[in-house]
Amino acid sequence: MLHNITFCVLLYKQTESMFNMKEQEKNILEKYIQGSINELEYNELKQIVITGEDKKLLEMIDTCYHKDTNIYTISSFTKETLRNEIWQQIKKANYRKRIQKFAALAATILLPIFIFSTTYFYFQADKYKQKPNIITSNNGQKAEFTLPDGTSVHLNSGSKLSYNSEYNGNVREVTLEGEAFFDVIPNKDKPFIVKTSVFNIEVLGTSFNVSIYNDENIAETTLIEGKVKLTLNDAQSQPIYLTPSQKFVYSKSNKKGNIYLTDEEYELAWKNGILIFKAESLEEVFHKMERWYGVTIHYDKNNIINDQFTGKFKALTIQEMMNILRMHYNLKYKIENNNIYII
């Protein structure tokens, strides 16, 4: 019946443990709404209303709602309105007239709210459906996972990758902040796209590395196998195509980029647990170490040695790495938890 459905849609969902009334008490209000209540039950409900047992009546309203729906919360205002209307109807109507009047009343009051609730639920469900999946790798950590289509992803420290629930539809699309290596499952009908703050990368099936940290001026992507197309977020730029062992390096400050030949071992060292420095300043070395080890290095920039550091290190602790820098630069330091102080 319409009045039964619309009434129950508005009533508040509660856990079963909150309602310990007897089954007979639970059904009185439901029968009242349906018009199937007998005279004895009607008198019992009338007595509950007249004696002011509001808590019991409101529990009946909640229970009726919970039985037919599992969606929405009825507002206190609406619940109180229903209680008052029930009270008024029972007070002034006899047993048979009440059934007809309340049926019309329920439809009048509750149908608009039912429509609102249904619409709200639809948009909330759609919003939930669009909620992205987010994988985060904090400083000092790395992550390896597989996307729904089988594409393998390695996520470097201080990075985040997200994709929505429709990822494996017509287009496979992810958004990247930080650095990641992708080994993409080939599918000529479903392009794989990596969106970043600087450029988008589109492939059909290939393996490549992307590094685009928000706190770094340089954004770059390196092609290991296959072919990729880069499109800068500047709409006036022409697409850029890379072939294996090529690397596109873009300067955010200059808004210019160039293609270079590169070494795969160097580009993918981080994925293999190797920390590499290639003619980098001490400030750049500290910055890379902070991300790699998940520490904060405190130092005076004015006292930093103007030198370039080169080295390749695997499976070193932060203490071991700092000792190497101490010997190389004759610096002193102290470690306190995740903080390193250059003194």
Range with the poorest average pLDDT among 25-34, 139-148, 195-204: 25-34
Determine the Cα–Cα distance for residues 132 and 174; give it in Å rounded to an integer. Answer: 10
Determine the Cα–Cα distance for residues 297 and 308; give it in Å rounded to an integer. Answer: 18
Determine the Cα–Cα distance for residues 263 and 211; give it in Å rounded to an integer. Answer: 15
Determine the Cα–Cα distance for residues 188 and 171; give it in Å rounded to an integer. Answer: 10
- CA distances 292 to 141, 143, 269, 285, 315, Å, are 7, 13, 12, 10, 11
**Amino acid identity for residue 282 in this structure:** L
The token pair that represents 180 in the structure block: 């990641």
pLDDT band per the 50, 70, 90 thresholds, residue 58: low
Share of the chain above pLDDT 90, in %: 54
User: Using one digit for the tens of pLDDT, what is the confidence trace for 249-272?
Assistant: 999 999 999 999 999 999 999 999
Of residues 182, 133, 130, 174, the one with CA closest to residue 156: 182
Residue 48: is its pLDDT beyond 60? yes
Decide if domain 273-342 falls under CATH 3.30.1490.20: no
**What are residue 153's DSSP bridge partners?**
145, 182
Q: Can you give the pLDDT at residue 287?
A: 96
Q: What is the mean pLDDT of residues 60-89?
A: 53
Determine the Cα–Cα distance for residues 259 and 58; give it in Å rounded to an integer. Answer: 71
Q: Can you give the pLDDT at residue 291?
A: 97
Q: Can you give the pLDDT at residue 197?
A: 96
- CA distances 212 to 30, 122, 165, 175, 222, Å, are 61, 37, 24, 11, 12
User: Using one digit for the tens of pLDDT, what is the confidence trace for 262-319?
Assistant: 999 999 999 999 999 999 999 999 999 999 999 999 999 988 888 999 999 999 999 9
Residue 55: is its pLDDT beyond 90? no
Of residues 8, 13, 128, 30, the one with CA closest to residue 70: 13
CATH number for the region 133-267 comes to: 2.60.120.1440
- Are the C-beta atoms of 148 and 118 separated by less than 8 Å? no
172-183 and 207-212 beta bridge pairing: antiparallel
pLDDT band per the 50, 70, 90 thresholds, residue 83: low
Token pair 């000792």 is at which residue? 323
The CA R_g of the chain, rounded to the nearest whole Å, is: 33
Q: Is the pTM of this model over 0.75?
A: no
Q: Can you give the pLDDT at residue 53?
A: 59
- CA distances 250 to 97, 98, 223, Å, are 80, 77, 15
- Are the C-beta atoms of 133 and 162 separated by less than 8 Å? yes
Determine the Cα–Cα distance for residues 126 and 107; give it in Å rounded to an integer. Answer: 28
Determine the Cα–Cα distance for residues 225 and 209; give it in Å rounded to an integer. Answer: 10
In whole numbers, what is the pLDDT of the chain averaged over residues?
Answer: 79
Q: What is the mean pLDDT of residues 179-200?
A: 95
Determine the Cα–Cα distance for residues 209 and 178; give it in Å rounded to an integer. Answer: 11
User: Using one digit for the tens of pLDDT, what is the confidence trace for 104-133?
Assistant: 555 554 555 445 445 554 555 454 445 789
| CB neighbour class for 220 (10 Å; exposed up to 12, middle 13-18, buried from 19) | buried
The token pair that represents 147 in the structure block: 């996307």
pLDDT band per the 50, 70, 90 thresholds, residue 170: confident
Domain edges within the chain: 2-129, 133-267, 273-342
- Are the C-beta atoms of 258 and 102 separated by less than 8 Å? no
Determine the Cα–Cα distance for residues 120 and 321; give it in Å rounded to an integer. Answer: 56
Residue 82: is its pLDDT beyond 60? no
Determine the Cα–Cα distance for residues 204 and 202; give it in Å rounded to an integer. Answer: 7
